[in-house]
Chain A
């Protein structure tokens, strides 16, 4: 491709990316509105429930508010529909998903055009890696939606992708440049792609574990008979919508299933990376900062898997490990790449 075509294509890619970000922002708003509506629906139901409960019997089964209202669930059959108050018919939720799909198409177009403009895979510097990585996070999210109704994570996923893309576009942007010889390898394609895919899964697992923790807190409150969550944050944000989400046990299982696939991919990433390191630098492992962090992340998730099989560590404690694990992934990507010295200085940024 000649240079003017390449520059033109890259500028289209940039436009597409900004458009995708705008549409993700709209999707984010729609998902947030959905959460707000869930909260007020829960308020309404609980209000009528209280009236009925007062009229009938003072005993309300702790935590298991059975649904009497026609707010029927469409949560897929594959997932245990064990929300305290199943809720699934919000138009804002459907708008959120549609907008997300539209934004994803624009995002995909932006990434593909960047790849063609550069005449190689679009993940050779931080800007491109962020673009492709977030695309994969979103792809994993949309694919998982086909199997399980995790639409309630829309706010989180669109929010995360938006923040990452914003940073990438404003802080990491670099013009199209040819690959330096150190990156000219089939392992760039495999190693980095699988790492991004693993990151996408860990992101979802992180979100589920976070909701799991909030949900577990709500369940404890309900079990204790407390009227409303008393935590400052919870009452400030009125996280009443949690009642419409799956139970913490279901969230924990979902998070685990997603995280173990992420872990297998991460293990592969680690091995592929050391094969590549052997080819490029003549040693397969040298405790370079990037290698150190990849290893730390791997060990944290191994700990997470063990925690699930250790008495006293199931539930909230293992959820914290998944959260720490993903924080390390973000740290590895955002901080280690840019600020730490090492052989993996592929940010493409001159600091």
Chain B
């Protein structure tokens, strides 16, 4: 009959199972397998557009996958369950081992086994004549101690021995590794909550103040307090890009992006600084990353009576490697009708055989702006937030381009055109008319840069735990932990016989060499000790008898 387990008994059984090495292994393998789907199916966190596309391409499969949290694998219930169980198992494993290790650190090495011959690296030597067994063990003990062993002496009838152990650092390293791993998980889990991330697009010449409202988008962590934002200002003074021009294999490939900025802390002078693709700017507790860039053509719309109703440098989103860019202009007020324009900007305009415009080079060689004009209701007054990068054309009438039969407006820098219906004029303002007149358009259109601004006060913890993980891993795997014994037995004729042996605890490739080396060094020490240990008279006598 099976004895009945009490609730406590069951819990204890469960805990033992959970913290067993076999379970840890099983959970690790599960974790590896569970991570795979996230690389096969696009993830909302890293590729939201991919998810939308996946839904469009697989309308039957996608909702089922979504129910299984396949688009949020790494925050899914099942993935979290695996790693949480793994870490509970880890805690349950590490606590008793730490306790045990603390005790072991204070304990004396265990008694010398009766028979050393069965152990690794067993070596026998005969001590030099007239060596005393106890003295030989004292020498061995000192030798082991100087090599970092902890030693304990044992004496029995006719034999003296030393038991030595080294490599406690191996277990220390192993525990450090596992505990630091917990530290990494906790930091990653909660760390994001204490910071924020925000995005902001700046056109050359624009300035941004680090306050909530100035961000284009802002994602605070759960525990972040907006009032702690430090209101420094950031100005984009200049954005420069250089393109490969010599190497035809890579012609037009960008080789450098540099945002020259000025940072002005509260009540202080501006400091010039730089933000590059691999070089974020760390300032005022935030990190500023350069994540995107493009052109921001300056567009002006003038009513028939000459009043300027719109004038702005509008960031156009790049569509391809040669920076064909798409931008939206909305003019809700000041004209007889609301006006919307979809613009294409070609930094170096070229014409395909079909007659379509395209850009053949990303820099400003022959810039052209084309505009499709819409009139009607922009939908701005419904109180529904709309994107500045999209034009909802439902309630608008297209006036130029497309199927209207009216050609799109095409403008080079400095040019203007009449809007349809006598609405007024639109101009493509040239930022550097003098140079453009001489045929150099390089400065005619301002650029914009999009910045990510982050604050994460826990990164320092993360890096510290990571260093501990590496340190623990290295020592936990590389430091050999071994026990070594040296035993001296005095035979009835007074000769002393020495035995050496060792026991590896964990992988220890150099164990046997270490025992031989110990025996050799010990023998040398005993031999060197001979002259002082032996009275001079004896030597003399010996010489005579030779």
Query: Which residue of A has the minimal Cβ distance to B477?
Result: A260
Q: With both chains docked as a complex, state the minimum distance between the C-beta of B476 and any C-beta of chain A, in angstroms.
A: 10
- Tell me, yes or no, whether A224 is within 8 Å of chain B by CB: no
CB distance A300 to B32 under 8 Å? yes
Contact B28 A281 (CB under 8 A): no
Which chain B residue has the least Cβ–Cβ distance from A275? B463
Closest Cβ–Cβ distance, residue B293 to chain A (whole Å): 10
Chain A, residue nearest B467 (CB): A271
Q: Are B39 and A292 in contact (CB under 8 A)?
A: yes
CB closest chain-B residue, reference A278: B459
CA distance A296 to B74 in the complex (A): 13
- Bound complex: CA of A299 vs CA of B29, how far in Å? 7
- The answer to whether B469 touches A264, judged by C-beta atoms less than 8 angstroms apart, is no
Q: How far is A278 from B195 in the complex, measured between Cα atoms in Å?
A: 15
Which of B24, B25, B43, B280 contacts A282 (CB under 8 A)?
B280
CB-CB under 8 A for A279 and B279, given A178-B244, A287-B45, A300-B32: yes
Contact A181 B507 (CB under 8 A): no
Q: Is the CB of A177 within 8 A of B249?
A: yes
Across the interface, do B280 and A279 meet the contact criterion of CB distance under 8 Å? yes
Which residue of chain B lies nearest to A182 when distances are taken between CB atoms in the complex?
B277
| A160 partner residues in chain B, CB cutoff 8 A | none
Give the shortest distance, in Å, between A187 (CB) and chain B (any CB): 8
How many angstroms from the CA of A302 to the CA of B24 in the assembled complex?
Answer: 10
> Which residues of A, 254-296, contact B by the 8 Å Cβ criterion?
256-257, 260, 263-264, 267-268, 271, 275-276, 278-289, 292-293, 295-296
With beta carbons under 8 angstroms apart, the residue of B28, B247, B287, B463 that contacts A176 is: B247
For this complex, into which size category does the number of interface residues on chain B fall?
35 or more
Hey, which chain B residues are within 8 Å of A310, CB to CB? Answer: 21-22, 25
CA distance A177 to B244 in the complex (A): 9
- Does B255 lie at the interface of the complex (its beta carbon under 8 Å from any beta carbon of A)? yes
CB pair B255 A280 closer than 8 Å: no
Contact indicator B277/A181 (Cβ below 8 Å)? yes
- CB pair B253 A296 closer than 8 Å: no
How far apart are the CA atoms of A281 and B459 in the complex, in Å?
15
What's the Cα separation between A286 and B38 when bound, in Å? 11
Q: Mark B250-273, 1 if CB is under 8 A from A, else 0.
A: 100111110000000000000000
Most chain A CB within 10 A, of B43, B46, B73, B463, is at B46
B188: Cβ under 8 A from any A Cβ:
yes
Complex partner residue of B507 from A184, A256, A292, CB under 8 angstroms? A256
Q: Which residue of B lies closest to A287 (CB)?
A: B74
Q: Mark B286-315, 1 if CB is under 8 A from A, else 0.
A: 010101000000000000000000000000
B25 x A303 contact (CB < 8 A): yes
Q: Which residues of B contact A275 (CB under 8 A)?
A: 463
CB contact between B25 and one of A296, A313, A340 (< 8 Å): that residue: A313
A 220-249 binary contact with B (CB < 8 Å = 1; else 0) = 000000000000000000000000000000
A81 in the interface (beta carbon within 8 A):
no
A residues near B31, Cβ cutoff 8 Å: 299
Q: Which of A178, A279, A293 touches B253 (beta carbons < 8 Å)? A: A178
A306 within 8 Å of B (CB atoms): yes
Q: Does A253 contact B (CB under 8 A)?
A: yes
Contact B462 A306, beta carbon cutoff 8 Å: no
Does B278 count as interface, using CB distance less than 8 angstroms?
A: yes
Contact, CB under 8 Å: B289 / A281: yes
Which residues of B lie under 8 Å from residue A341 when comparing CB positions? 42, 47, 50
Q: Which of B22, B39, B276 contacts A289 (CB 8 A)?
A: B39
Tell whether A66 is near chain B: CB-to-CB under 8 Å: no
Q: Which residues of A contact B462 (CB under 8 A)?
A: 284
Q: Enumerate chain B residues within 8 angstroms of A286, measured Cβ to Cβ.
A: 45-46
Interface residues of A in 309-349 (CB under 8 A from B): 309-313, 336, 340-341
Within 8 A of A (CB), among B205-224: none
In the complex the two chains form, is B46's CB within 8 Å of A288's CB?
yes
Complex CA gap A282/B287 in Å reads 8
In the complex, the answer to whether B509 meets A306 with C-beta atoms within 8 Å is no
Contact B247 A3 (CB under 8 A): yes
**Within the assembled complex, what's the spacing in Å between the Cα atoms of A289 and B466?**
22
Given contacts A256-B507, A271-B470, A295-B35, contact A178 B277 (CB under 8 A): no
State A275–B463 Cα separation when bound (angstroms).
9
A185 CB-CB contact with B under 8 Å? yes
Compute how far the CA of A257 lies from the CA of B480 in the bound complex, rounded to whole angstroms: 12
Is B473 part of the contact surface with A, judged by Cβ < 8 Å?
yes
Q: Which residues of A contact B289 (CB under 8 A)?
A: 280-282
**Does A180 have its Cβ within 8 Å of any Cβ on chain B?**
yes
Q: Is A101 an interface residue (CB 8 A)?
A: no
Residue B5 interfacial (CB < 8 Å) = no
Task: State the Cβ distance, A112 to closest chain B Cβ, in Å.
Answer: 20
Q: Return chain A residues, CB-CB under 8 Å to B46.
A: 286-288
Name the contact of B28 in the complex, choosing from A187, A283, A292, A306 (C-beta under 8 A).
A306
B257 to chain A: which residues have CB within 8 Å? 181
In the bound complex, how far is the Cα of B451 from the Cα of A294, in angstroms?
28
Within A69-124, the residues touching B (CB, 8 Å) are none
What separation, in Å, do the CA atoms of A278 and B452 have in the docked complex? 12
Contact of B35 among A174, A285, A299, A336 (CB under 8 A): A299
Q: Is B246 an interface residue (CB 8 A)?
A: yes
Check B477–A306 contact: CB distance below 8 A. no
Identify which of B45, B249, B250, B470 contacts A268 (C-beta below 8 A): B470
How far does the Cβ of B199 sit from chain A's closest Cβ, in whole Å? Answer: 10
Q: Which residues of B contact A283 (CB under 8 A)?
A: 454
List which B456-485 residues lie within 8 A (CB) of chain A.
459, 462-463, 466, 469-470, 473-474, 477-478
Q: What CA separation (Å) do A283 and B195 show in the bound complex? A: 12
B139 an interface residue at 8 Å Cβ cutoff? Answer: no
Contact with A267, one of B47, B278, B287, B469 (Cβ below 8 angstroms): B469
Q: Report the separation of the CA atoms of residues A182 and B28 in the bound assembly, to the nearest whole angstrom.
A: 33
**Cβ A293 vs Cβ B255 within 8 A:** no
* Chain B residues, CB < 8 A from A192: none
Q: Which residues of A contact B24 (CB under 8 A)?
A: 306
Name A180's contact: one of B32, B35, B249, B253 (CB within 8 Å).
B253
Q: Is A179 an interface residue (CB 8 A)?
A: yes
B32 touches A3 (CB 8 A): no
Q: Residues of A at under 8 Å CB distance from B? A: 3, 6, 174-182, 184-185, 187, 253, 256-257, 260, 263-264, 267-268, 271, 275-276, 278-289, 292-293, 295-296, 299-300, 302-303, 305-307, 309-313, 336, 340-341
Some 9 contacts from A to B, beta carbons below 8 A apart, are: A185-B278, A253-B507, A260-B507, A263-B477, A280-B289, A283-B454, A299-B28, A299-B31, A306-B28
Q: Which chain B residues have a beta carbon within 8 Å of chain A's beta carbons?
A: 21-22, 24-25, 28-29, 31-32, 35-36, 38-39, 42-43, 45-47, 50, 73-74, 188, 197, 244, 246-247, 249-250, 253-257, 276-280, 287, 289, 291, 452, 454, 459, 462-463, 466, 469-470, 473-474, 477-478, 507, 509
